[in-house]
Chains A and B, each alone.
Chain A
Amino acid sequence: MVQEPDFLQEKTKREHKGVKLTPGTIVLIVGIVVFISVLGIQLFQQNQLQPVAGERAPNFTITTYDGETIDSRDLRGQIVIVNMWASWCGPCHAEADDFQQIHEDYASDGVVLLGVNWLDIDDEALEFIEFYDLTYPNAPDIGERVYEAFNVQGMPETFVIGPDGIVRATFLGGTTYEALSNVLNEVLAEDAS
């Protein structure tokens, strides 16, 4: 069974070193490379984080619980606040009154506040809206498209988007009237100048 491997011979036979590119070989190599690339792209997308100040906000379309369809592109020129929430999340409850107050105080300045509900059964979401008397538009995130577009990771998260569609502030977790109004005043002042 002892077989002599041709070590030294191999060194003299270097002329046909390398692989002949037969169709099968090409398919194999290309297949592996495509495979790796697909995984790479997927990994890259998985590692994407929420847009932060200075980055462009993604576009989205939602239909509110009242049946009104809102396309984020139609809101260009206005300051938009997107608030992701869920009825079971504690910080969402804590910030709900503040959001309503922001809406009441800033709607006249052209600030559009959008509540986007994540994963709740509609009844639960409506109960939440009713409980806090929210009058700004709220919409279910059908198919989690907004959630995906903003790479949201937990509830709640809030994005303040400038009139040019660039994110001005990102709040991961709960926020307050004060924090929001600071950002809004800044953006409004900047807008006026």
Chain B
Amino acid sequence: MSRYLTALVIVLVTAIGIYAQDTVTQDDVDEVASRMYCPVCENEPLDQCYNPTCIQWKREIRDLMDQGLSNQEILASFVERYGEHVVGVPQDPFLRFLSFGAPLIGTLIALAIGLMTFMRWRNNQADVSVEQYDEKPKYADSYRSQIERDLG
């Protein structure tokens, strides 16, 4: 047991072990790791994380790269084993659709509300011009330039 723990401590002290490699560079590993999240400390990107699980995972990423898996395949394999929350954007098509679809709908709703505000102005303006025909038109050029001046 003590041998095992000594080995463990060395891993903790130095993260170098992850990268003692030639074919796959450290930057290649980070490329994938930056798109993943530490499973233990929520919301900490994997590439910036140094706890034992993260170090293991980065070593695994390197091994999988060595085996010739593409970045996408590596992400997919982690998701399959540990769940969707280990990546920065869900891999599952439905969850992905949910994630990106809702803000789009939200933006459209916001636009619709803005448009409603605008249409209300236009509609009310039409009413006003009929009912209060004899009033001085509010949009006369002189009036407008006066406002401009007042507002400095």
Q: Which residues of A does B touch, CB under 8 Å?
A: 86-88, 90, 93, 97, 119-121, 123-124, 131-132, 140, 142-144
Contacts and interface: CB of A to CB of B under 8 A. Distances in A.
B5 interface: yes
Contacts of B80: 142
Interface in B30-61: 39-40, 51-53, 56-57, 59-60
Contact of A119 (B5, B8, B82): B82
Interface residues of B, number: 17
Contacts of B60: 121, 123
Contact of A143 (B1, B5, B83): B83
B83 A120 contact: no
B53 A119 contact: yes
A90 B6 CA distance: 11
B81 interface: yes
Contacts of B52: 88
A121 B5 contact: no
Contacts of A123: 60
B110 to A, nearest CB: 15
Given A93-B1, A119-B39, A121-B59, A88 B53 contact: yes
Contacts of A142: 80-82
Nearest to B8: A88
Contacts of B57: 121
> What are the nearest 6 A-B pairs in CB distance?
A88-B52, A143-B83, A121-B60, A121-B56, A119-B39, A119-B53
A140 B57 CA distance: 15
